[in-house]
Structure 1
Amino acid sequence: MIDNTFTLISRIDGEIRRFITEELAKEGITDIVPSHGAIIVELMKHGQLPMNELARHIDRTPQTVTSLVKKLVKSGYVETVKAPEDNRVTMAALTDPGARLAATLCRISEEIYELQYQG
């Protein structure tokens, strides 16, 4: 028997990413991609986080998170500062535009949830 599970998962992933991108564009947000959403949501849930802890929360390597966060900083959604107690630790937090983006992402997530269970 040939199983098409991988094909279906890939198709669902692609459709969800396309939906998120389209919904963000409707809000005028074109400077991020869906993979940034995990960072935004985690910072919304937990407030300021050390970068290594943020990486654990979203199950990505520290290098990947650093790259994603740099883009979010450049776009004005996140700010980074050195931890006062240990200058080797970089902390990330949402800016006001980042908090507004988090609210938009939560709305989009609710729409995806509704679509999943429609009918």
Structure 2
Amino acid sequence: MTLQEVGMLFDKIVGFYPQFAGDLVKMRSWHEVLGDTHFDQAVKSLVHYAAKPESKYPPHPGALVATESAEGELYHAFMRTAGRAAVDESSQIQATGVPPTADQRRKVRELLASRLR
């Protein structure tokens, strides 16, 4: 997340918590904590945080850091995409695959017969 995105995040926090105030020093401090977190993930975490009835006060930056569950969601999204690609590739192979020729089958049978002797 960039420093500019931290400022945009502060604007979103103020939308939920009007008492929240931030200056450049505070933005830089938050940027140190949130630097590796994507802006969209931080906003998603903010909305999740604000939706809880016990969240009466503005969040601290650690409450908006990408959590393991967010990483898990990314992992599962990646795995779903990879799985679909593998299924598509398999379907393509099945649709365009060519069976072995009679000569190839004969050679395989001969090899198997010679190994069984």
Q: Same fold (TM over 0.5)?
A: no
Q: Which of the pair has more CA radius of gyration?
A: 2
Task: Return the structure number with greater helix share.
Answer: 2
- TM-score, normalized by length of structure 2? 0.27
- TM-score, normalized by length of structure 1? 0.26
